[in-house]
Amino acid sequence: MEPAAGRFFDMAYTGNRDGALSILDERRALIPRSGQPNAFGSWWLLVTAIEGLAMLGEQSQAAELYPLACELVGTEAVTLWGIPRFTQTIAGLAASSARKWEAAEEHFEIALQQAESFPDRLEKADIRRFHAMMLLDRAAPTDRTKAQTLLNEALETYTQIGMPRHIEMTQALIYSRPST
């Protein structure tokens, strides 16, 4: 992974908002350009930028990157070497940030099918957490119940794997939003 992308991602997940956004602002010119050949590091930056921005609550910035996420998915890459994240998962996060609910659900469903076929336990848990976040944001009548199920499944996996930060994030989602 490109070192700055890794630092941005780590800072985003640890809540260092100012540090993360500063790194991204410095490296923004390296994000892929639509319709052009792009360096591998540019795609790394795109993937980490979308996820990090979503974790920081910067949905409008993540949403702007959705067309590029679609281009990445269009390359038929399932994942990028060095980044344990499926391209469909990233597209789902970006679509969710753009409030493109149907597209987000489709991306998450495809990503979950891919994670089941590999199998990739961590990716399955993350997809469930991200999909639940989308459902909670959309807040359709049955979304909260489905989100709770997804979050409980993700929490079980994070607990089995031993991922305390992810357990904490998932519990915060479970307990911070009232269920119906």
Q: What's the confidence (pLDDT) of residue 37?
A: 86
Q: What's the confidence (pLDDT) of residue 38?
A: 83
Q: Which residue has the tokens 């591998």?
A: 40
For the record, the structure tokens of 39 come out as 């360096």
For the record, the structure tokens of 107 come out as 């991306």
Domain ranges of the chain: 1-106, 120-180
- Residue 177 pLDDT class (50, 70, 90 cuts): low
Helix (H, G, I), strand (E, B) or coil at 85: strand
What residues have CB less than 8 Å from 160, skipping those under 6 apart?
A: 121
Determine the average pLDDT of the residues in 9-37.
Answer: 92
- Tell me how far apart the alpha carbons of residues 10 and 163 are, in angstroms, rounded to a whole number: 15
Mean pLDDT, the chain, as a whole number? 92
- Residue 62 pLDDT class (50, 70, 90 cuts): very high
- Tell me how far apart the alpha carbons of residues 29 and 56 are, in angstroms, rounded to a whole number: 20
Q: What's the confidence (pLDDT) of residue 36?
A: 87
pTM, two decimal places = 0.91
Which of these, 131, 133, 128, 126, lies nearest to 163 by C-alpha position? 126
3-state helix vs strand vs coil in the chain, percent to 5: 75, 5, 20
Give the distance, in angstroms, between the CA of residue 22 and the centroid of all CA atoms in the same chain.
20
Q: What's the confidence (pLDDT) of residue 180?
A: 41
114-151 pLDDT, tens digit per residue, is 999 988 999 999 999 999 999 999 999 999 999 999 99
Determine the average pLDDT of the residues in 46-60.
Answer: 95
Q: What's the confidence (pLDDT) of residue 179?
A: 45
For the record, the structure tokens of 130 come out as 């991200």
Helix (H, G, I), strand (E, B) or coil at 35: coil
